[in-house]
Structure 1
Amino acid sequence: MFIRLRPLPGNLRGPVYTESLLRAWQRVMAPQSSLMTQREGITLVIGSFDGEVGLAIECADELRNVIVPELQDAYPGLEVSFDREEGDDDHLVMHSMELTLSPDVYSLRTYESFLDEPERALADPLAGLLSAVRCGRSGRMACAIRLTIETASPRRVRQHRRIGERLERGFRSDEWRRRYARWACDRRAARRLVGCFVGCLLRSADRAPSPSNVKGAESLFVCRLVVECRAPADAAQIAKKRVREMAAAFGRFASDDCRFLVIKGLPQRSQRTRRFVTSIPLRSLRPRRFLLTAKEIATLWHPPVVSADSVSRAQRSVFRELEAPLRLPSNEERGVTLLGRVKFRSQRQQFGIAADDLRRHMLVVGKTGCGKSTFLQHVILQQMQQGRGVVVIDPHGQLIDDLLDHVPRRRTNDVILFDAADRRHPVAFNPLQGPPGSDPTLVADSVLTAFKKVFGFDETSAPRLLHIFRHCLLTLVGIPQATLMSVQRLLVDANYRKTIVLQVENAAVREFWLNEFGRWHERQRTEYIASLQNKLGAFTSNERLLAILCATEKGIDLRSIMDRSQILLCDLSKGAMGHDASTLLGSLLLSSLQLAALSRADVSESDRPDASVIVDEFHSFLSEGNTSMADALAESRKYRTSYLLATQMLEQLDRDTLAGVLGNCGSTLCMTVGPRDAEVLADLLGEGLTPNDLMRIPQYHGYLKLLNNGTAHTFSMTTLPQPRLTQRRADIIRKASRLRHGRSQTVIEQELTRQYGA
């Protein structure tokens, strides 16, 4: 089994964790009794893979389930991928060289000697080995360092202990000590016998000081180190040079008493031959292998720490995986909306959100192309399949187009397609006709709030215009057959104004028209009216808006859609109808939705059907200082209206709105975001996530802070794949919606004539 490892950048867990793992693996590899054979060894690889450099492990399948979980526990965020064997090309020629440690009774320089004292940080020696194996981007050549380890046998450990004891007793001179150590640890048996003889003869009471770097006998491994380069036959000289460079890179680990030596250059061979040779157990090969402790091996091979992040083309994990809670809602539970799959190590189970947690709303943040629309599409389709009321507001139109083909057959007649670009059969919408029993002041304020967004002024910049416009709306709300198109007529037609004012019940509004408005100087009044007409004219001259907003009947009944669990799909494509017109319609719809939700107070909570409002790019419909969205999120839960809001950038929201959205959305999904949003969301999501983690999230991945039974947990996830298209139903849905809710051009022209021709 070939296991590739990709650590996260900025790793602060150094070789000490690998050392601890090696001690644990040694116990796993060791035979459980004298009658059992030792398990096959583990090969630790530092190599170039597909133009990048990184780490890998080769081991038996039975060891994989031990090694991988422990590695991922020791190094959080470590990405692991599996392959049956290293991806080699049989046409490449292998050039390799075997190294040995001489004498191996002494210790190498370990990671403790590579500490940067002023910074108290590890100057990772692995950076040099990674640089040594780096090859060109073409992939014609690949280099690798392979350190194969097995648990040292008891006999080998005893031999090592005896040699160490003899060294501690001292020799007549330092030169004889070095010779004895070199001969006693030699790979050839004859020299080891000579060393044993010399050790017995040259012991003396007149001892030379013994070095202190004799390695201990605990956690010993028998090792084989090979450096290799795979290259085409015409690049043999370059490959041989690369092999020598890799061997030289181990010079940094040499101590005063031991160093790596080249045993020999191994013969050239094809990849098929190499795989056969490396499949032979290490203990069956000759010559004798050298000893390393767990600390020495951890120094030579470990996931790189932060000081090695500068190594060019090093394989890195781009997505920090976070563990999900033990119990998550699943599709087997009633009322659960599936959101995606858990992404943590080998865990890939589907999960969802319960209806009560969804009522506490959800926020989705991510750049364009990161997978937001796919996520929204799955959520909306499940709401449809579960028979719930759904309102979708899409300023681009693509999400609506994708949804139409997937509407369940049994819900065809529940769909109201509000396509603002439909010239032939537009659907009417009169925001002045609020829900039954609604307060006219609330209706007028909701419309005024929507126009503030597109007018671009507020109470401080244009107080008089807002004052006039507010009283126009208060006058027309509740008047039969009044529309937004009636505002201009109310301002310029004195007879019409006189007729309408007589129907107004609000004394303050009547006082405005009868006294305040009439006391203004004619020139002053004309200036105010002209300014307001200029603002309104940009919309009343828009044919598409006229066809929608001139309807004297109510048209879209948002309260009825919620109560009857219907489906309202609002295609407000900016490309088809213009940015300002799309923004105005979206703002009017959101304001009216809030009123419709509040009007459900006349029904007991248990009798209120759930309704979901999904708004893509919701920032487009909110003006600065407009707290309507924050208010809607705070109040709508008790009316069983859940909001799912999606946006590309949080910085497009003003401070108060952002605080209201973040504070009232119980669940938050973060996909790829920019640096400013990353700082805000890293604090919100917690779990040790950094802004860099949030800026490099892959497509269709994300971090979800999920509300589960009232408690929020953050974990990593992936979205579900694109829904499979079984039948194109968009044309059927469009025709059915037009027949039920569309209006003909004849009716529209008659209404326009009646309103403007009188």
Structure 2
Amino acid sequence: MQNYLIKLYHGYNKWKNIFSNFLDEIGKTLKWQKIILGLNYLKWEYFYSLTCDRETYSPFESKFYTSFNDFQIIKDDKWVFDYVWEKAVLWEITLENSWFFPFKIDTSDNTDFIFNIFRTFENFDVTSDKIGIFLEFTPIKEESIWFYLKSRFRFFLFRIMLWLQFFKYILNFKTQKDWKLVGRNYFQEKLNKELFETKIYIVAQSKDKNEAISRIKSIFNNFLVLNNYPLNQFNLKIQNHISSINNISQGKSPVRKYILSSLEITSFFHFPSNPKWETSLLKVTAKKLTLPIWVPTIDYKVENNWEITPQNIDSNMNVIWISDYRSIRVPVWIYDEDRLRHTYVIGKTGVWKSKFIANLFINDIHSGKWLGIIDPHWDLFEEALASIPESRKNDVIIFDPTDEKFPFCFNPLDVQEWESKQILAKWFIDIFKKFFGANWNPKLEHVLRMVFLALLDKKDSTLFDVIRALTDKDFRYTMIESISDDVVRNFWTNEFASWSQQFNTEAIMPILNKVGQILSVDIIKNIFASKENKLDFRKMMDEGKIFLVKLPKWKLQEEIMGFLGAMIITKIFQASMSRQSEAKDKRKPFFLYVDEFQNFATDTFSEILAEARKYWLWLIVAHQFIKQIPTKISESLFGNVWTLVSFRISSEDALYIKQQFDPFLDAYDLANLSQREFYAKMIVAGQVKDPFSLKTPFLPDSPLDKKYIEELYSISRSKYSRSLEEAKKITQTEQKDVIEKIESFVEPII
């Protein structure tokens, strides 16, 4: 038999009759099939359990979820019946008289038997006590009731016993005159309900057996309120045999059977009416939503640890999720065309967002897709490297500033003929605006616009030339010669030279400080020093490359990390926009993954979200909470993203995000998901689907083959990097004057 845990939904507020009706449905469906329900205590936690065989589980589950829609049943191989038998005892709860004599049936919703059990649990030892109250029952076929009576009591003897029992009580007690009518009505009412062969027993484990017996007696005291003296009452009976304890998990306990109705069982075993107030009770922390129709699924294999492994994956399948609704646990995939509208992932740290993203891009890599990954940590970057197949090792481009001996050659001011200088200048300004923050002002924007428009016109410009343009009069003379825009030329020829010292302080010094801060870091200086840009972003997107960007916060300053990432995203978007000259059927999709994207999200990001899909740049962005990004970008996200993935988020974010999931979820559900669990709202074949519950597939950390990783680095270095010696030679010759100014804090020369 298999053990399961039953999780109660925190918002459940129904009453005892629901449980009684559920038992009636079980009685009509499952005849002579054994079921064990348990209420357990372990380490200050209370949980309900279910034990049955596999044939019984399926029909039981169907009836259970009909009555308790938002509850959850999960497999358990550990907690139920896991007792140290040397310290455990088993006592059965019996009836003093035969089962056809009534005990008190409590159907009132004003009292709650289970509530009193919980209060008893509160007095137990959190370190040593484990308790289980078990209800073992088997539904009886109606046509077998009389056979049961004849075989055990013989019906004639039963009638005599009934008279003798009542006659006995009449002699000893003054009972109501209509006792005969009451007895007959009770028995008739009982036979009209679904009946069950029922065993009730308690298993307890504590520091020693005497303590365990004490725990059982404490629990049994709650049953005394159901005594109907003198007709019937509950008693305790010890089962000393070790064999009886060992057999209970298989439904073979030697405990005495009683025939009880669904109503009688509900008097002492049911679900609490308001589980949300029971902080120690195992509950469903977040509602489960069913898989909508037409969502594509795939074959799978169930592993020994109950994990689901997809099978027979086609290159066109993006297998990213496991549906997580009751017994429906199948791999789910998404069409490439539906990813065109971008994917937005939000969730707290430690909820497996990174594993979700890794699972998706690993699938993309192995199916031959073209993609880029920008990782502000290192884990996604390493997962990607470890998953590169031998057949694609020449497609890999590695941008790793921490690879200090081989600096990447990246010059963002190197303009290709397909790039718009006006748009690039605007986007560069947006980057600086983000990093100036509250110190940003119109004067800074004006100066930077003129600087970038001038330098983008000048061949072989680098970021070092930003400092030259603001401090070197001779450089400005040569720069002016290449300026094609009259307004920009007039600024540098006339306006700039006439500015006062105050303007220099407000607009020029902050720029020098900010750019100087970036270029003063050796590993960054060596990247930006070269006039040559070895990476053509347009070719990268069109020739099926895998672009891996590692920007670890622990190694780079956060501001510099954000600056690099924003520059790279800007160049990728500019390259994608140049595709407008190509026919749509010739454009190849490029998937750009950006983890912790708030670090790189400038105002330009809103444009990217709105426009990128036209040029087949498909974004997958992730972060932790909404306040990390400006309102303008968050509004653009929810206006342009069609696949929304929400892991566990803060209560504040849940109030906002729930609007995207109305009316299916509330903020409590979104804020209380377990690790690996998430909700998704997506489109399937262009059609919007209701949100549903999913789980990130188990993805063990990929083993790193250091030799193979070094080979990937070597291939990338040979194409896109230069040696440290070459980089230093450039900085010490071509950029020497700027480096000296940065180091000596030279005031701007006008």
Counterpart CA distance in 1 for 2:168 and 2:126 is 53
What secondary structure sits across from 1:502 in the alignment? helix
Counterpart CA distance in 2 for 1:350 and 1:155 is 45
Q: Which residue of 2 aligns with 1:99?
A: 94
1:80 and 2:49 matched: no
Counterpart CA distance in 2 for 1:139 and 1:200 is 48
Cα deviations by residue, 1:648-667 (Å, 9 ceiling, x for unpaired) = 22221122211111221111
Unaligned runs of 5+ in 1: 31-38, 116-122, 161-183
1:708 and 2:684 matched: yes
1:289 and 2:258 matched: yes
Alignment of 1:216-255 (within 5 A): 217-231=191-205, 235-253=208-226
More deviation, 341-350/327-336: 327-336
Q: Which residue of 2 aligns with 1:488?
A: 467
What secondary structure sits across from 2:9 in the alignment? coil
Instruction: Find 2:434's aligned residue among 432, 450, 453.
Output: 453
Instruction: Find 2:641's aligned residue among 661, 665, 668.
Output: 665
Q: Which residue of 1 aligns with 2:241?
A: 269
Shift in alpha-carbon separation, 1:146–1:662, aligned structure 2, 3 A = same
Q: Which residue of 2 aligns with 1:477?
A: 456
Q: Is the 8 A contact 2:286 2:668 kept in 1?
A: no
More deviation, 728-737/712-721: 712-721
Alignment of 1:462-541 (within 5 A): 462-521=441-500, 524-525=503-504, 528-541=507-520
Q: Is the 8 A contact 2:95 2:232 kept in 1?
A: yes
Once the 2 structures are TM-superposed, how far is the Cα of residue 265 of structure 1 from its aligned partner? 2.2
More deviation, 81-90/669-678: 81-90
- Amino acid aligned to 2:192: E
Cα deviations by residue, 1:494-527 (Å, 9 ceiling, x for unpaired) = 2221221121111111121222223334664476
Shift in alpha-carbon separation, 1:128–1:618, aligned structure 2, 3 A = same
- Amino acid aligned to 1:79: I
Once the 2 structures are TM-superposed, how far is the Cα of residue 381 of structure 1 from its aligned partner? 1.9
Q: Is the 8 A contact 2:38 2:135 kept in 1?
A: yes
What secondary structure sits across from 2:86 in the alignment? coil
Shift in alpha-carbon separation, 1:511–1:741, aligned structure 2, 3 A = same
Shift in alpha-carbon separation, 1:621–1:275, aligned structure 2, 3 A = same
Shift in alpha-carbon separation, 1:607–1:324, aligned structure 2, 3 A = same
Q: Which residue of 2 aligns with 1:172?
A: none
Q: Is the 8 A contact 1:5 1:80 kept in 2?
A: yes
Once the 2 structures are TM-superposed, how far is the Cα of residue 605 of structure 1 from its aligned partner? 1.1
1:683 and 2:659 matched: yes
Counterpart CA distance in 1 for 2:598 and 2:291 is 30
Shift in alpha-carbon separation, 1:208–1:196, aligned structure 2, 3 A = closer
Q: Which residue of 2 aligns with 1:591?
A: 570
Instruction: Find 1:697's aligned residue among 664, 669, 673.
Output: 673
Once the 2 structures are TM-superposed, how far is the Cα of residue 82 of structure 1 from its aligned partner? 4.9
Q: Which residue of 2 aligns with 1:167?
A: none
Structure 2-normalised TM-score?
0.85
Once the 2 structures are TM-superposed, how far is the Cα of residue 344 of structure 1 from its aligned partner? 2.0
- Amino acid aligned to 2:41: S
Once the 2 structures are TM-superposed, how far is the Cα of residue 692 of structure 1 from its aligned partner? 2.7
Identity of aligned residues (%): 21
More deviation, 523-532/582-591: 523-532
Counterpart CA distance in 1 for 2:598 and 2:208 is 59
Counterpart CA distance in 2 for 1:230 and 1:376 is 46
- Amino acid aligned to 2:125: G
Instruction: Find 2:117's aligned residue among 113, 116, 129.
Output: 129
Alignment of 1:304-453 (within 5 A): 304-306=272-274, 308-311=275-278, 313-329=280-296, 330=298, 332-453=313-434
Counterpart CA distance in 2 for 1:337 and 1:350 is 10
Q: Which residue of 2 aligns with 1:566?
A: 545
Shift in alpha-carbon separation, 1:587–1:735, aligned structure 2, 3 A = same
What secondary structure sits across from 1:743 in the alignment? coil
Structure 1-normalised TM-score?
0.84
Counterpart CA distance in 1 for 2:160 and 2:182 is 26
What secondary structure sits across from 1:7 in the alignment? strand
What secondary structure sits across from 2:657 in the alignment? helix
Counterpart CA distance in 1 for 2:488 and 2:194 is 93
Unaligned runs of 5+ in 2: 172-176, 299-311, 739-750
What secondary structure sits across from 1:138 in the alignment? coil
Q: Is the 8 A contact 2:91 2:216 kept in 1?
A: yes
What secondary structure sits across from 1:477 in the alignment? helix
Shift in alpha-carbon separation, 1:462–1:274, aligned structure 2, 3 A = closer
Counterpart CA distance in 2 for 1:125 and 1:210 is 28
- Amino acid aligned to 1:320: K
1:556 and 2:556 matched: no
Once the 2 structures are TM-superposed, how far is the Cα of residue 264 of structure 1 from its aligned partner? 5.2
Q: Is the 8 A contact 2:648 2:672 kept in 1?
A: yes
Cα deviations by residue, 1:601-643 (Å, 9 ceiling, x for unpaired) = 01111101110110110001124xx2x2121111111211100
Once the 2 structures are TM-superposed, how far is the Cα of residue 749 of structure 1 from its aligned partner? 3.8
Q: Which residue of 2 aligns with 1:36?
A: none
Once the 2 structures are TM-superposed, how far is the Cα of residue 469 of structure 1 from its aligned partner? 1.4
Once the 2 structures are TM-superposed, how far is the Cα of residue 338 of structure 1 from its aligned partner? 1.5
Q: Is the 8 A contact 1:7 1:79 kept in 2?
A: no
1:722 and 2:700 matched: yes
Counterpart CA distance in 2 for 1:49 and 1:398 is 37
Shift in alpha-carbon separation, 1:199–1:500, aligned structure 2, 3 A = closer
Once the 2 structures are TM-superposed, how far is the Cα of residue 569 of structure 1 from its aligned partner? 1.0
Counterpart CA distance in 2 for 1:52 and 1:593 is 52
Once the 2 structures are TM-superposed, how far is the Cα of residue 250 of structure 1 from its aligned partner? 2.3
What secondary structure sits across from 1:404 in the alignment? helix
1:15 and 2:16 matched: yes
Shift in alpha-carbon separation, 1:52–1:750, aligned structure 2, 3 A = closer
Q: Which residue of 2 aligns with 1:194?
A: 164
More deviation, 525-534/609-618: 525-534
Shift in alpha-carbon separation, 1:644–1:58, aligned structure 2, 3 A = closer
Instruction: Find 1:56's aligned residue among 38, 49, 55.
Output: 49
- Amino acid aligned to 1:219: K
- Amino acid aligned to 2:295: L
Q: Which residue of 1 aligns with 2:747?
A: none
Cα deviations by residue, 1:655-697 (Å, 9 ceiling, x for unpaired) = 2211111221111222222221222223323463333323332
Q: Which residue of 1 aligns with 2:632?
A: 656
- Amino acid aligned to 1:126: I
Alignment of 1:569-648 (within 5 A): 569-623=548-602, 626=603, 628-648=604-624
Cα deviations by residue, 1:253-288 (Å, 9 ceiling, x for unpaired) = 467x88861345234222546627985699xx87x8
Q: Is the 8 A contact 2:292 2:690 kept in 1?
A: yes
Counterpart CA distance in 2 for 1:59 and 1:381 is 39
Once the 2 structures are TM-superposed, how far is the Cα of residue 543 of structure 1 from its aligned partner? 1.9
Cα deviations by residue, 1:444-475 (Å, 9 ceiling, x for unpaired) = 111111111222247xx521122111101011
Counterpart CA distance in 2 for 1:418 and 1:138 is 52
- Amino acid aligned to 1:87: D
More deviation, 102-111/234-243: 102-111
Counterpart CA distance in 2 for 1:187 and 1:510 is 116
Instruction: Find 1:754's aligned residue among 729, 734, 737.
Output: 734
What secondary structure sits across from 1:717 in the alignment? strand
